[in-house]
Structure 1
Amino acid sequence: MSAMLQHEIQTSKGPLPSLLWLPQGATGRVPGIVVFQEIYGLSSYVRARCADLAQLGYAVLAPQLYARLDPPVAAVQEAGVEPQAVLSEALQLAGQLDWDQAVKDGLSAMTDLGRLGPVKKKKVALLGFCMGGGLAFNVAAAAASAGRPAAALVSYYGSALPRLLDLAPQVECPSLHVFGTDDDYIPMEQVERIREAVTDGGTREQVRFELHPGAGHAFDNPNPTFFHEEASRAAWAQTQEFLAEVLPA
């Protein structure tokens, strides 16, 4: 398994703590993926998914967005802590997050990862879960506007997407969006609005949109409160297939 390393992203607002995984045994340069956290921070679940991506051959960088808060918080959900026990705290922290600064931090993370020796230049993708799924989408739009588009985007049930749909025309990179059909936070009416916007009415062949019947919000999180085993397995297989096609390691 790839080792998790401490790393600092250099930003205009000072260094931002992050976690870094490099694929073991890789020869030559590899593609990179910036991973954006769920509302529980860089939880054990998100870190496990980062390690999974590194095992697939990617360099993975996960910024600790809550480190900007006062006091700084790296994560509120650690191994053994039930999400429902910290949900109110997590929602409060997410509400304190400066979204515009988080987008800037995401752009800095892309630049930082692309400059690392093992990473292929211009081969940095974005991936996010829940809050991070919307943030990854926003960063993809900002990166394209800045003339340095992301290589790909993977968004798991992006909770902020309903208010970001005006950015859809700017997100031209190959994209994968996954949702559950029983999402209490993003009902199917909103999911269909998201599908219409990100696929431009089904005309964007570079966008994949996958629905998972019976799955609720955060269905990939292994905590029993959220987990839907069949949907999680299928969505991760779709993620691997998509990345292998558009960003082969």
Structure 2
Amino acid sequence: MTENNIKPTSNTSPNDAAPIAIPQEAFDWYDEYAHGIIDRREFLKRLGGLTLLGLSASAITAALTPNYALAEQISFNDPDITATFETFPSPQGHGEGRGYLVVPKALASTAPAVLVVHENRGLNPYIKDVARRLAKVGFVAFAPDALHPAGGYPGNDDQGRAMQKALERSKIEADFLAAALYLKDHPLSNGKLGAVGFCFGGYIVNMLAAAMPNTLDAGVPFYGTPAAESLRDKVKGPLMLQFASLDKRVNATWPEYEAVLKAQNADYIAHMYDGVNHGFHNDSTGRYAPAEAELAWQRTIAFFQQHLEVS
């Protein structure tokens, strides 16, 4: 079922001392730019037209561009967690994958495991922080980097997007399938596997739910498109799908996907967050909506606690 949630919040920039009112058109254009529908030149050209409204294109660009210094909620040297980089075999993908493994330091034996899947630009600091947030509350979290075959996340989102786009999509998907199996069978895992992903990562979670319905025990896609039509009817769930009401591109795919889930009697719940944009959980850009992001995250944690604990 689909639920509507809390009231809209104003759009603010985490990069500025004072809030900046960003027109909705700018959010929409940024989404098109971030997903390769328009190039950077066209994006900046459109923003330039907004200066007629008394807004600076550079200020809007700065507000929408990630500032990862603002995204760290859990420090990499937090005393309650241990973080390392680990490799795993991916024979159907690029041969080898690599990811960021974060575990609770007080872990006595095993814990539920959660795969964390990044956006379309590689394993950036925001996604690493999401993995640390999960470990902080008791999960074994693993965040693979799709860009490992190309040298890893380059430290720049624009370059990361270009690198990920240049890699073969089917091999990237195979790498995440391999990562899921690696994590489920990890010595620190209790054998229960969850997955959470954002944007491209949301798509990957939907893909995992369809491609390995008996392996994935719980999935939470944030503003992700569904798996290929040929796979969708394999989804069993449980899934918790998180949507932003202003995200026209992703939301257009939901009615058809939901019809398939209903027809399959899949176990799912969908939340629509009013008045927020695609990327509202990412606390490094002006799309961040704090109240909605926190509500969505607490629901995510509760969902994993419900479905991944060994009874």
Q: Structure 1-normalised TM-score?
A: 0.83
Give the SS at the match of 1:10: strand
For residue 18 of structure 1, report the CA deviation from its aligned partner: 1.2
The structure whose Rg is larger is 2
1:133 aligns with 2:202: yes
For residue 114 of structure 1, report the CA deviation from its aligned partner: 2.5
1:37 aligns with 2:118: yes
Is the alpha carbon distance of 1:105 and 1:189 closer, same or farther for their aligned partners in structure 2, counting shifts above 3 Å?
closer
Give the SS at the match of 2:203: helix
Partners of 2:184 and 2:108 in 1: CA distance: 17
1:142 aligns with 2:211: yes
Percent of pairs with identical residues: 20
1:1-249 correspondence to structure 2 within 5 Å: 1=78, 2-12=81-91, 13-69=94-150, 72-77=151-156, 86-87=157-158, 89-121=159-191, 123-144=192-213, 148-158=214-224, 160-161=225-226, 164-186=228-250, 188-200=251-263, 203-204=265-266, 206-248=267-309
Is the alpha carbon distance of 1:57 and 1:222 closer, same or farther for their aligned partners in structure 2, counting shifts above 3 Å?
same
Is the alpha carbon distance of 1:167 and 1:14 closer, same or farther for their aligned partners in structure 2, counting shifts above 3 Å?
closer
Partners of 1:19 and 1:173 in 2: CA distance: 26
Is the alpha carbon distance of 1:178 and 1:98 closer, same or farther for their aligned partners in structure 2, counting shifts above 3 Å?
same
Deviations 1:167-186 (A, max 9, x none): 22212131111010001532
Deviations 1:163-205 (A, max 9, x none): 634422212131111010001532x43333333333448x43x
Give the counterpart letter for 1:167 in structure 2.
Answer: L
Q: Is the 8 A contact 1:59 1:119 kept in 2?
A: yes
Deviations 1:51-104 (A, max 9, x none): 1111121111111111123xx232544xxxxxxxx44x4443332232211221
Give the SS at the match of 1:109: helix
Is the alpha carbon distance of 1:15 and 1:232 closer, same or farther for their aligned partners in structure 2, counting shifts above 3 Å?
same
Give the counterpart letter for 1:189 in structure 2.
Answer: A
Q: Is the 8 A contact 1:16 1:67 kept in 2?
A: yes
Give the SS at the match of 1:185: helix
Structure 2: gaps spanning 5 or more residues: 1-77
Give the SS at the match of 1:215: coil
Partners of 1:199 and 1:236 in 2: CA distance: 25
Give the counterpart letter for 1:93 in structure 2.
Answer: M
Structure with more contact order per residue of length (Cα contacts < 8 Å, sep ≥ 6): 2
Q: Structure 2-normalised TM-score?
A: 0.67
For residue 45 of structure 1, report the CA deviation from its aligned partner: 0.9
For residue 241 of structure 1, report the CA deviation from its aligned partner: 1.7
Is the alpha carbon distance of 1:210 and 1:91 closer, same or farther for their aligned partners in structure 2, counting shifts above 3 Å?
same
For residue 239 of structure 1, report the CA deviation from its aligned partner: 0.5
Q: Is the 8 A contact 1:151 1:174 kept in 2?
A: yes
Give the SS at the match of 2:221: strand
Moved over 6 A (4+): none
Deviations 1:113-152 (A, max 9, x none): 223221122x1122211101101221232223xxx42111
Structure 1: gaps spanning 5 or more residues: 78-85
For the aligned residues, what is the CA RMSD?
A: 2.1
Q: Is the 8 A contact 2:144 2:179 kept in 1?
A: yes
Q: Is the 8 A contact 2:112 2:139 kept in 1?
A: yes
For residue 35 of structure 1, report the CA deviation from its aligned partner: 1.2
